[in-house]
Amino acid sequence: MNCILLPAVNFHNESAYINAAAQIEHVNQVLGAKVGDTLKVGQLEGHLGSAVITDMTPERILLGNVDLTTAPPPKLDLTVVLALPRPKVLRRLIMDMTALGVRDIILINSYRTQKSYWQSPMLNRLDEFVLEGLQQGIDTAAPRISLQKRFKPFVEDELAALMTNRAIIAHPYGALSFSQYMQQQLKNAESPQKVLPSMVFVGAEGGWIDYEVEMLARQGCQAVHIGARILRTEAAVNAILGQWLL
C-alpha cells in the first residue's frame, strides 16, 4: 500500500489512529516505521496528506500532526460492466480497477458466468478489495459497485439510462480494433478526451457469446478488439483501461 487510508471516525482534530491489523503489520513489517516517522495517510472519501507517528503498540498506532490538504485524483469518466469472473480473479480486478480510478463498476451475470460465483464469499469482501486498490493508487474515493444478476433485463431496461456517452464491448472477434474505433471517433471530435467511450463491457473467461454481443449492439454498443491475442480477463481490463490513463 502506498498510503494508509483511515475512516473519518479515526480522526480527531490533528490526531488519528491506526487500528486495522493489516495496516499495523504494513507499517511495522514493510515500512519499518518508528515513532517520529512520517506516513502518507488519507481519510476515506476525504483528502490525502501526512501524519507523524507519536506512539506504537501491537494493537494501535497513534498519529499526530495530521495534515490532509491534497484532494484525491479525479475519477475516470468511465463505467466498467464486468461479467462476474472466478472469485480469485475478482479480487485482483476490483483492486486494479479501483487503483486505475474507475468511477463505476457493474458486476453482471453472463452465459459463461457460473452460478456458483454469485454465492462466493468474495462478494462480501468487495469493500476490502476496494480499500487495497485505493491505497495502491493513492486515492480516497471508492468506486460505486453494483450487482446485476440478470443480463437481459439490465440491457433492455437499464442500460440506456446509464450510457452518458458511447459504449464499447471488448470482444476478440469484433470487426474493429480499438485503434480503428478511436480513429473513427476522432474525425468529428473536438478533442481526444471526448472520443473515449463512457462505458466498457468486459466478459469473463471465454468472453461474451454472440447473443449477448447482439443484444448490446442493439443498444448502440460497438464491439472492438485489442489485437489478435486472446487475453485473460485481468490482462484485457488493464490493457483497455490504460487508454484512459494515456
Whether residue 99 is predicted with pLDDT greater than 90 in this model: the reply is yes
- The Cβ of residue 217 has, within 10 Å, a number of other Cβ atoms equal to 13
Q: Which of 132-136, 193-197, 236-240 has the lowest mean pLDDT?
A: 193-197
Positive/negative CA dihedral, 225, 229, 234, 235? negative
For 191-216, give one letter per residue: b (16+ CB within 10 A) or e.
eeeebbbbbbbbbbeebbeeebbebb
Confidence bin at 246 (pLDDT 50/70/90): confident
Q: How far apart are CA 16 and CA 3, in angstroms?
A: 14
Q: How far apart are CA 1 and CA 135, in angstroms?
A: 5
- The Cβ of residue 28 has, within 10 Å, a number of other Cβ atoms equal to 14
Homologous superfamily of 76-245:
SPOUT methyltransferase, trefoil knot domain (3.40.1280.10)
Residue ranges of the alpha helices (H) in 5-147? 21-25, 87-100, 126-137
Q: CATH 3.40.1280.10: which residues of the chain?
A: 76-245
pLDDT digits (tens, 9 = 90+) for 142-161: 999 999 999 999 999 999 99
What is the pLDDT, as a whole number, of residue 209? Answer: 94
| Beta pairing partners, 4 | 41
What is the pLDDT, as a whole number, of residue 213? Answer: 95
Helix (H) or strand (E) holding 160: helix 159-162
Which own/partner pairs from 48-53 qualify as long-range (CB within 8 Å, at least 24 positions apart)? Answer: 48/3, 48/72, 48/138, 48/140, 51/16, 53/27
Q: How far apart are CA 120 and CA 86, in angstroms?
A: 9
Tell me which architecture the domain covering 4-70 has in CATH.
Beta Barrel (2.40)
Q: How far apart are CA 6 and CA 4, in angstroms?
A: 7
β-strands 61-70, 15-18: how paired?
Answer: antiparallel
What is the pLDDT, as a whole number, of residue 191? Answer: 62
Confidence bin at 193 (pLDDT 50/70/90): low
pLDDT digits (tens, 9 = 90+) for 51-82: 999 999 999 999 999 999 999 999 999 999 99
pLDDT digits (tens, 9 = 90+) for 8-67: 999 999 999 999 999 999 999 999 999 999 999 999 999 999 999 999 999 999 999 999
Q: CATH 2.40.240.20: which residues of the chain?
A: 4-70
